[in-house]
Amino acid sequence: MTLHAPSGHWRLGLALAITTALCWATLPVALKVSLEAVDAYTLTWFRFLVAALLLGALLGARGRLRQFRSLSRRGWGMLAIAALGLIGNYLGYLLGLAYTTPANAQLLIQLAPLLLAVGGVLVFRERLNLPQWAGYAAVAAGLLLFFVEQRGRAAAPATYAFGGMLIVAAAATWAVYALVQKQLLQHLSSQAVMWAIYVAAAVLLLPLASPAKLLAVDAWHWLAIAYCALNTLVAYGAFAEALAHWEASRVSVILAMTPLLTVATVGACAAFVPGLVAPERIGTLGWIGALAVVAGSAAVSLLGSRS
C-alpha cells in the first residue's frame, strides 16, 4: 500500500496548523457570546446549515456528489450513526459550555482523541506503544486534576460538574463519529462524509431550532454567530491541508496547544473587551493539569510508532 508523503512545504503546513489551532481556541468564546442571543439548538442548526450549503456548493461544482450513488444500505446506516455522533458532539459541547468555562470545556474535550484511541484498539485492533500509553495516562491524569481544581473554585460546584459531564459526553459521541467515519472513508471522501452529516444534522435539528430568533439578533451577536458557522469549515479545511504539507505528528503537536491558546484568548478578551467573557481563574494544580494534558498529547503524537 502506498503511504501519503507530505509535500515538504513545512512553513505552509505550520501556518495551516496554527490557523486550525487558533480557530479551535477562539471558538468557545464565540459560542459563549452567541448563546447570549440564541439557544443551543438554533445555533447548532445554523452552523450545520451554513456548512452544508457551502460545502455542498463546492462538491457540486467539482462533480463529487456522484459518489453517493454507489453507497450501500450499510453505508447509509453508518452515515446515520456518524451524523448522530457529530450532532451529539456539537450539542453536548454547546450545552456544557453554558454551565462551565471556555478553558475547562476546551480541556475536557481533549478526552475525545483519548477515547478515539481506545476505540481504535478495540474496534480496529490498532496497537499503541508504551510511550503512547504513558502519554494518554498523562492526559487522563491532567484532565482529572484540572477539573477537580476548577470545580473547587466554582461558585456552584454541582452546576460546574454537570457542565463537565456534558462535555465528556460530547467527547464520547465525537469518538463514535470518528470511528464510523474512518470506516466510511473506504467508500466516500472525507468531504463527502462531512457534507452528508451536515445535511442530515440540519434536517434533524430543524424541529428543535427557532430560526425566527435569528431575525432579532443584533449586529454584534450576528458577528459571533457567523464566526461560529464559518469556523468549522475553515478549521477542518486548514487541518486537512496542513496534513498534506507537514507530518501528522508535528501537526498534532501544534493542535495539542489549543487548550492553552483558549486560556490566552479568554484572557485577552477579558482584558481588552471587559464584560465579553469572564476571565479564567486557574490555580497551581489547574496549571499542572493543563500542562500535563498538553505534554501527554504531544508525547502521543511524537512517540507513536512510525511503522
pLDDT, tens digit, 9 for 90 and up, residues 111-137: 777 777 777 777 767 676 788 788 888
Residue 56 inside a domain? The answer is yes
- The answer to the question of residue 114 being in a domain is yes
Q: What is the mean pLDDT of residues 141-156?
A: 78
In the chain, how many domains are there? 1
Mean pLDDT along residues 75-81? 90
pLDDT, position 214: 92
Q: Is 146 within a domain?
A: yes
Question: Is residue 307 included in any domain, yes or no?
Answer: no
Work out the burial of residue 110: count CB atoms within 10 Å of its CB; fewer than 13 is exposed, 13-18 middle, 19 or more buried: buried
- The answer to the question of residue 3 being in a domain is no
Residue pair 91/48 in contact by the 8 Å Cβ criterion: no
Q: Which three cell numbers stand for residue 122?
A: 478495540
What value does the mean pLDDT take over residues 268-290? 78
Tell me if residue 235 falls in helix, strand or coil: helix
Rg (CA), the chain: 19
Q: What is the spatial distance between Cα 246 and Cα 39, in angstroms, rounded to a whole number? A: 39
Which pLDDT belongs to residue 240?
A: 66
Reported pTM: 0.78
pLDDT (tens digit, 9 = 90+) per residue, 160-208?
A: 788 889 999 998 998 888 888 878 877 888 788 889 989 999 999 999 9
Tell me if 5 is assigned to some domain: no
Residue 23 within a domain: yes
The conformation of residue 76, written as its DSSP 8-state character, comes to H
User: CA-to-CA distance for 197 and 59, rounded, in angstroms?
Assistant: 14
Summary mean pLDDT of the chain: 82
Distance CA 231, CA 92 (A): 18
* Buried-exposed string 27-40: b where 16+ CB fall within 10 A, e elsewhere: bbbbbbbbbebbbb
Which residue segment(s) compose the domain that 51 sits in?
10-302
- Does residue 139 belong to any structural domain of this protein? yes
Cβ–Cβ < 8 Å for 99, 162: yes
Spacing of C-alpha 64 from chain mean position? 25
